Amino acid sequence: MNIAPEVAQALADNRGVVALESTIISHGLPRPENLRVAIEVEAQVRANAAVPATIAILDGTVHVGLNDVLLDQVANRDDIVKVSVRDIATVIANRGSGATTVAATSHIARLVGIDVFATGGLGGVHRDARHTWDESADLTTLGDTPITVVCAGVKSILDVGATLERLETLNVGVLGYNTTSFPGFYLRESGFPVTWSVSNPGQVAAIMGARRSMQIATGLIVAYPIPETEQLDPDLHDRVLQDGLSLATQRGVKGKDVTPFLLDHFHRSTHGASLVVNTQIILRNADLAAQIAVAFAAAADR
Ligand code: PSU
Ligand code: MN
């Protein structure tokens, strides 16, 4: 494992560090926007006096914190596989290269002592899970990994209600940030309520501290909705989603290909509109995550 010097120093000095996933770069966004967004997200974290730690596996080495050359490789190499927790060891042993999902990124972040993580939207229970049993390992991983994840809810391609039920079962905390409505990723609202609402980073840091002292070793989701003015047009969203779901079934897309397939379908069918929203979501989440990381690093009870 290689921890970038800047990240190692920040952890040693007890300054705010924000983990960032790499599947979003390799499989979630098209080239060349993927690299541009990856760079902007890191800058957004730094703008809040925190240190970004993008996580990926390159040629058998787990990297926590990527320099420009490595970030470019994640964005542009054709041999980058999507790595969940169960794939980490195999990819390392094979000296392979992969981009880490929310699940794999959370696992590695905790291993090195990072408390806060920013992404776009979590994985969850797929709409046809009753038949396919397709549920993201993001959920079970957050069920046993004490990390705070800032996201815009779960991807709207999923069964949001079922995902919220699973999060409850798995003891994963869910906080709405300035909202009592669980966000809908591309949309401000998913139509489901959230029980607990917070309105500043210090409040989240206090909850993180209380979780630690109570030894609640599961994940905490900070659900941060996009403003209504910036969301994807809901009618367009619903239309594109229905098309994408039938196309995925028609083409027999399965397993870990489903999420990248649907995201790509969105980016194409909305002629880039979903890409703009997706980018905004990630930047906003990185911004808030950095503030939370700084607040928690400064807290007495961490
Ligand atoms: N959110 C995004 N874009 C993405 C993902 C999430 O805005 O590409 C990725 C994350 O890495 C997440 C993964 O962990 O999709 C979930 O994939 P699956 O449903 O196969 O578990
Ligand atoms: Mn899946």
Catalytic residue among 82, 155, 189, 256: 155
Of 235, 232, 294, nearest in space to 263 by CA: 232
Q: Does any ligand 1 atom lie closer than 6 A to the CB of residue 27?
A: yes
Q: Does any ligand 1 atom lie closer than 6 A to the CB of residue 23?
A: yes
Amino acid at 79: D
β pairing state of 187-193 and 181-184: antiparallel
Domain of residue 241 covers 2-301
Q: Does any ligand 1 atom lie closer than 6 A to the CB of residue 102?
A: yes
Q: Check the CA dihedral 254-118-191-130 and report its sign.
A: positive
| CB contact burial 44-53 (16+ within 10 A = b; e otherwise) | bbeebebbbb
Mutate to test the pocket of ligand 1, among 20, 140, 151, 155 (most ligand atoms within 8 A of CB): 155
Which ligand 1 atom lies nearest to the CA of residue 136? 21
155 is catalytic: yes
CA-CA-CA-CA dihedral for 297, 145, 93, 70, to nearest 10: -40
Instruction: Read off the tokens for 260.
Output: 């990248």
CATH number at residue 250: 3.40.1790.10
Say which ligand is closest to the CA of 26: 1
Q: Does any ligand 1 atom lie closer than 6 A to the CB of residue 66?
A: no
Q: What's the average pLDDT block by block, 10 residues per block, for the chain (302 residues)? A: 98 96 96 97 98 98 97 98 98 98 98 98 94 96 98 94 98 98 97 97 98 97 98 96 94 91 94 96 98 93 64
Q: Cis omega before residue 260 (within 30°)?
A: no
Mutate to test the pocket of ligand 1, among 37, 81, 101 (most ligand atoms within 8 A of CB): 101
Catalytic residue among 21, 33, 135, 189: 21
Residues forming a β-bridge with 117 = 19, 149
Name residues whose C-beta falls within 8 Å of residue 141's C-beta, 6 or more positions apart in sequence. Answer: 85, 102, 103, 104, 106, 107, 219
What DSSP string describes 150-197?
EESBB-TTB-HHHHHHHHHHTT-EEEEES-SEEEETTEEEEEEE-SEE
Q: For residue 12, how far is its CA from the centre of ligand 1 (angstroms)?
A: 30
pTM: 0.96
| In the chain, alpha helices (H) | 5-12, 23, 33-46, 68-76, 85-93, 102-111, 129-132, 137-142, 160-169, 201-213, 234-250, 258-269, 273-298
Would you state the pLDDT for residue 300?
Answer: 64
Q: Does any ligand 1 atom lie closer than 6 A to the CB of residue 278?
A: yes
Q: Does any ligand 1 atom lie closer than 6 A to the CB of residue 34?
A: no
Q: For residue 154, how far is its CA from the centre of ligand 2 (angstroms)?
A: 13
254 is catalytic: no
The protein residue whose alpha carbon is closest to atom 16 in ligand 1 is 123
What DSSP string describes 240-260?
HHHHHHHHHHHTT--GGGHHH
Q: Does any ligand 1 atom lie closer than 6 A to the CB of residue 21?
A: yes
Q: What's the domain count of the chain?
A: 1
Check if the beta carbon of residue 150 is closer than 8 Å to that of residue 222.
Answer: yes
Alpha-carbon span 198 to 205, nearest angstrom: 11
Displacement of CA 260 from its chain's centroid (Å): 14
Would you state the pLDDT for residue 156?
Answer: 87
